[in-house]
Amino acid sequence: MAQPKIRILELYSGIGGMHYAAERSDIESEVVFSVDINTSANEVYRHNFPDTNQQSRNIESLKSREINKLKPDVIMMSPPCQPFTRVGLKLDVEDARCSSFLHLLQELPHLETVNYILMENVVGFEASAMRMEFVKTLKSCGFYRREFIVSPEAFDIPNSRNRYYLLARKASDFHFGNEDDIVTQFPSGNDSSMLLSKEKSLEPYLETHMTDEELDTFLLSEKTMLKYLRILDVRRKSDTSSCCFTKAYTHYAEGTGSVLQHNCLEDFHQKFTEFEISQDPSTLRSLQLRYFTPREVANLMGFPASFKFPPTTTNKTRYRLLGNSLNVFVVSKLFNLLWED
């Protein structure tokens, strides 16, 4: 007789990164309810998961009575990170965007079927007062926990995206680490943690056969190159790393993500030297410096080929939504760990 599927309550669902991670994991599961207040994210989610009960509502409207009727086994969530980011005000629990998470902590002791939790947030959350409240509530509810700070680079994915994760379960303690430490490496013996070596470079993640018209859409303007070339992180398809893509990618130049030298037949350093002498950005034109496309960013973040944006979603919105999302592959491996004996 087939085992019943694990029932997932997906909170702060965004564009469905947690949903895809559960699908990519080794665990038979189904998302029974999904909630977010971001209209644009919800449109993308419903475009890809039309059969999931996904609702646009504030999580503060969710009460334990309603959740218990759904009988979820696990909560997967990625609460707002702005209260803890290095570029934010770091208001922590005083930030209004923490109110829904605080509400969830009040409801957690009354959830009758939830025995597992997977949570993602930014680095910095581990030092927050919000994290202390979370941990205190988990302890009072009988959860064992492990906390991680992990980047996709740990799995040979050529993209830096260091994030905080917390796993919690009631059934038994985890077989690795302890609750007082932040785990930065996956437990030894987790043989599913490695990718094929061919995935180490950027090339397999890039779109092929771009038309000239499509390429023109993503080329950096000469104005941008003139002003920001010295601080841009320029990569080639053979490179084995790239910088974290943020929601401000293409809007701000510094610290928002790498750009790609599309024409790899040219010597970047030679062209850069010519530019330094002439200060004429047209000397860089043959490099075809461009932004990574939304599809390429999604590839690096582990979204499957089946993932699509609605045609009406602008590229600016696509970058913003991806920047606020998570790495599907990393979360899928963490999801597996939740169930390991």
Query: Which residues are the active-site residues?
Result: 81
CA 316 to chain centre: 17
| DSSP letters for 129-173 | HHHHHHHHHHHHTT-EEEEEEE-GGGGT-S----EEEEEEESSS-
Phi and psi angles of residue 7, each rounded to the nearest 5 degrees, phi first: -100, 125
**Residues 257/246, Cβ–Cβ less than 8 Å:** yes
Of residues 286, 299, 289, the one with CA closest to residue 207: 299
Q: Distance between CA atoms of 23 and 55, rounded to whole angstroms?
A: 20
| Strand residues in 187-247 grouped as ranges (E) | 234-235
CA 145 to chain centre: 21
154, 159, 163, 166: CA torsion to nearest 10: -50
**Residues 241/257, Cβ–Cβ less than 8 Å:** no
